[in-house]
């Protein structure tokens, strides 16, 4: 989770999805816009009767977040 103070400085809303990379000993956070998510979701739409890989990935990340919160 990104602290509220940092979100405010960066103009991010609570719950903004992001990805990060590790580069030269630093973590680099890259917010993902809702528009990009919508476009990706359309590209990854499963065929009828098939599970959505995109939705499964988001569900797994949410389960990870819950486990992280439970550990605290």
Read off the pLDDT of residues 26-39 as tens digits, 9 standing for 90 and up.
988 887 766 655 66
Number of folded domains that form the chain: 2
Quick one: tokens of 45? Answer: 């739409």
Residue 48 is part of which domain span? 35-72
Please check whether residues 11 and 25 belong to one and the same domain: yes
- Digit-coded pLDDT (tens) for 24-71: 999 888 877 666 556 666 666 677 887 777 777 888 889 999 998 998
Please check whether residues 51 and 62 belong to one and the same domain: yes
Report the distance separating Cα 42 and Cα 24, nearest Å. Answer: 34
In this prediction the pTM is: 0.38
CA 54 to chain centre: 11
Please check whether residues 21 and 52 belong to one and the same domain: no
Please check whether residues 11 and 40 belong to one and the same domain: no
Run of H or E residues at 29: strand 26-31
Quick one: tokens of 20? Answer: 């990060």
Q: Please, which residues have CB within 8 angstroms of residue 10's CB and are 6 or more apart in sequence?
A: 2, 31
Please check whether residues 39 and 72 belong to one and the same domain: yes
Please check whether residues 25 and 55 belong to one and the same domain: no
């Amino acid at each position: 989770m990104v602290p509220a103070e940092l979100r405010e400085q960066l103009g991010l809303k609570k719950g903004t999805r992001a990805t990060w990379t590790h580069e030269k000993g630093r973590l680099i956070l890259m917010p993902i816009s809702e528009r990009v998510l919508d476009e990706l979701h359309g590209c990854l739409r499963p065929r009828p009767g098939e599970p959505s890989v995109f939705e499964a990935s988001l569900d797994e990340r949410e389960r990870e977040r819950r486990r992280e919160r439970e550990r605290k």
